[in-house]
Amino acid sequence: MAIQIEFEGYVNEVKQFDWGTVYNVSHRQVIKNAAGEWETAGYDYFDVSVQKDTPELPKDQKVKVKGTFKTKRFDKKDGSKGIALQVRAADITPMEKPASVPDMQTIWPGVKQVPEDNAPF
């Protein structure tokens, strides 16, 4: 049985092949700090493969990915072991990038930060 995955992220790199495209997509990990504010704790990077007939996406495009997850072990140039996170996409959908905090302040004067229930991930 395959592991199903669904996540949102940003396209970092695009590699074209005869059979399709591989997008390197980053997903931001967030945690609350001691002050109760959201901060970035790190990033996960997934190689997302799509078939040839999928519309091309540009670098920095925000996307929603649904597909099958798998891992691949490999030897690094320095001799250590590495692991790659791969997704065979059943669906990859372009998304609108969220408004920045200055844009939100224009819409809702007085708002200093994104409301907690609207955290990005």
Res 69: pLDDT = 94
Report the percentage of the chain scoring pLDDT > 70: 80
Residue with more model confidence, 11 or 97: 11
- Residue 65: name the closest of 1, 119, 121 by CA: 121
Report the percentage of the chain scoring pLDDT > 90: 62
Q: What is the pLDDT of residues 31-86, one digit of tens each?
A: 999 999 999 999 999 999 999 888 899 999 999 999 999 998 989 999 999 998 89
Residue 102, pLDDT > 70, answer: no
The span from the CA of 52 to the CA of 91, in Å, is 13
Residue with more model confidence, 104 or 51: 51
Residue 119, pLDDT > 50, answer: no
DSSP class of residue 18?
Answer: S
Q: Are 61 and 11 in contact (CB under 8 A)?
A: yes
Res 55: pLDDT = 86
For the chain, domains (ranges, CATH) are 3-118 (2.40.50.140)
Torsion of CA 98, 102, 103, 105, to 10 degrees: 120
121 confidence band (pLDDT: 50, 70, 90)? very low
Q: Are 83 and 72 in contact (CB under 8 A)?
A: yes
Res 53: pLDDT = 85
Mean pLDDT of 93-121: 60
